[in-house]
Amino acid sequence: MNRSAYFLCSVVLFVAGSTWAQEDKKPEKASESKPAPARLDLSQTNHTITINGKSIPYLATAGTLPLKEEDGKVTANVFFVAYTKLEEKPEKRPITFAFNGGPGSSSVWLHMGAFGPKRVAMTDDGQPLPPPTRLVDNDLSLLDLTDLVFIDPVTTGYSRAASGQDAKKFHGVQEDIQAVGEFIRLYTSRYQRWASPKFLAGESYGTTRAAALSGYLQDRHGMNLTGVILISAVLNFETLRFDEGNDLPFILFLPSYTATAWYHKRLSDELQKDLHATLREVEKFANNEYATALLKGDKLPESDRKLIVTKLARYAGLTEEYIRQTNLRVEIMRFTKELLRSDGITIGRFDSRLRGTDADSAGERHEYDPSFAVVQGSYTAALNQYVRQELRYESDLPYEILTSRVQPWEFGEAKNRYLNVAPTLRQAMNKNRHLKVFVASGYYDLATAYFATDYTLNHLRLEPELAKHITSAYYEAGHMMYTHRPSHLKLKKDLTAFYQQALEP
């Protein structure tokens, strides 16, 4: 398996296939809902939700959209769930295409955690409730701002390659971009949304996909986007691959180590006072003294090495002995095991606030990611119940939440180097000078560190005027910051401002 796939963050994927569904009853008010012409494998239902005190009627469409070659041969059936506000002209209404990452993840996380009209009920700090899983209205849904289309790439969710088609031809960087891009083009045409302001929203590897699509849709289909939303971004894989000879991630993940140690009260009293002040101090150290020390390698003078060991231990919440043993380089999975080892506790990679326990404390890496364990079962059960009970869509296929069936992932031209789609995003912004970008990062995300994202954005080489089109926001939560209620509230507020700004004439 290509090691780049290991760090793609989001959580769950799967696209492809031949699915079947029962036709739901016709909408109660056909004149209001105006559903698309009847096709196989679609279910449409009417609903309402209250957001900010306003009742919003909407049409939900669940089903598969077949991808075809020009001769009409079906290559794949892509599952999607779309939410369209009623009583409003589609061409005047923004539309957002959303997906998660992996590769190998369905869109369930953004769908039922962040943006959709229903969300999985959890505690305010992101802990699961006792089973069975409950769904509640999502008062922080984006449906008051935009119509939504959640896409499951081929071999994730209910999406599958068509009969007789090799699913592997969809499992790669370029192959995935072409398939998802074709879905977006086809949906836009069939549902008459070419005149609508269009947004992309991706999480984790979904941000890699979104950045690449911003250029692909523009160049291949002449589709200029209004905005791109990047949740827990990874555009340049050099920033998070802890490979021998690549010192960049050790520098860029240090502030996230510090934030984690701060949360678990492993720092000195002085550093525990103010998280943001502490992070500014650590960022300065990482960019200067620490980066210079790693650059010197074995030529680093011993006196300087001792100073770096002391500061690293202070900022990471680890012992000086451990820092010396790692040669000043603490790899991410080691950190999740080492920080609370003396207490017999491991910490999460997707959300380092969350704790777990292993069979013993002697291992180098944790046995499982406690921050994934708290969402895996609840989101899986919620989706399977919701899609059948409320959306009236039926399929005997397993809904692939997080699958390895897309591996090995084909990295194409990036196979022997680090995948980097940041230049594609820069080119898209240069060609479409109205394109706006929103970037959300969690301080406790050890999968896509916020400082690594900042580094990538700081190296886009955009002219100052276009650089102003990028908005960065930070949250005291992890990779899925929306599972933390205070952060979800802030995310909705930030996105409301972003949509308003992006849609200004």
pLDDT tens digits for 184-212?
Answer: 999 999 999 999 999 999 999 999 999 99
**Confidence at residue 182, expressed as pLDDT on a 0 to 100 scale:** 98
Among residues 454, 439, 484, the alpha carbon closest in space to that of 279 is found at: 454
Q: Could you tell me the pLDDT band of residue 415, with boundaries at 50, 70 and 90?
A: confident
Q: Could you tell me the pLDDT band of residue 88, with boundaries at 50, 70 and 90?
A: confident
Between 75 and 35, name the one with better pLDDT. 75
Model confidence over 277-304: pLDDT tens digits? 999 999 999 999 999 999 999 999 999 9
Q: Rounded to the nearest 5°, which phi and psi values hold at 488? A: -65, -40
Q: Provide CATH code, domain 4-238+376-502.
A: 3.40.50.1820
* Residue 39: pLDDT over 80: no
Model confidence over 301-332: pLDDT tens digits? 999 999 999 999 999 999 999 999 999 999 99
When pLDDT is averaged across residues 237-250 and rounded to a whole number, the result is 96
Q: Could you tell me the pLDDT band of residue 28, with boundaries at 50, 70 and 90?
A: very low
Q: Could you tell me the pLDDT band of residue 40, with boundaries at 50, 70 and 90?
A: low
**Confidence at residue 124, expressed as pLDDT on a 0 to 100 scale:** 95
**Confidence at residue 210, expressed as pLDDT on a 0 to 100 scale:** 98
* Residue 31: pLDDT over 90: no
When pLDDT is averaged across residues 64-92 and rounded to a whole number, the result is 94
**Confidence at residue 35, expressed as pLDDT on a 0 to 100 scale:** 43
When pLDDT is averaged across residues 387-399 and rounded to a whole number, the result is 96
Reduced to 3 states (helix: H, G, I; strand: E, B; else coil), residue 420 is: strand
Reduced to 3 states (helix: H, G, I; strand: E, B; else coil), residue 61 is: strand
Please provide the average confidence, as pLDDT, over all residues in the chain: 92
CA 243/CA 253 separation, integer angstroms: 14
The residue type found at 456 is T
Domain ranges of the chain: 4-238+376-502, 242-368
Distances (CA, A) of 132 to 225, 374, 398, 438: 40, 13, 19, 35
What b/e string do you get for 88-112 counting C-beta neighbours within 10 Å, with b at 16 or more?
A: eebeebbbbbbbbbbbbbbbbbbbb
Range of lowest pLDDT (11-20, 110-119, 317-326): 11-20
Q: Which residues have CB under 8 Å from 234's CB, separation 6+?
A: 7, 8, 9, 204, 205, 207, 208, 240, 448, 452, 453
**Percentage, residues of the chain above pLDDT 90:** 88
Whether the bond between 131 and the residue before it is cis, its omega within 30 degrees of 0, is no
Q: Could you tell me the pLDDT band of residue 139, with boundaries at 50, 70 and 90?
A: very high
Read off the pTM. Answer: 0.92
When pLDDT is averaged across residues 239-249 and rounded to a whole number, the result is 96
**Confidence at residue 104, expressed as pLDDT on a 0 to 100 scale:** 96
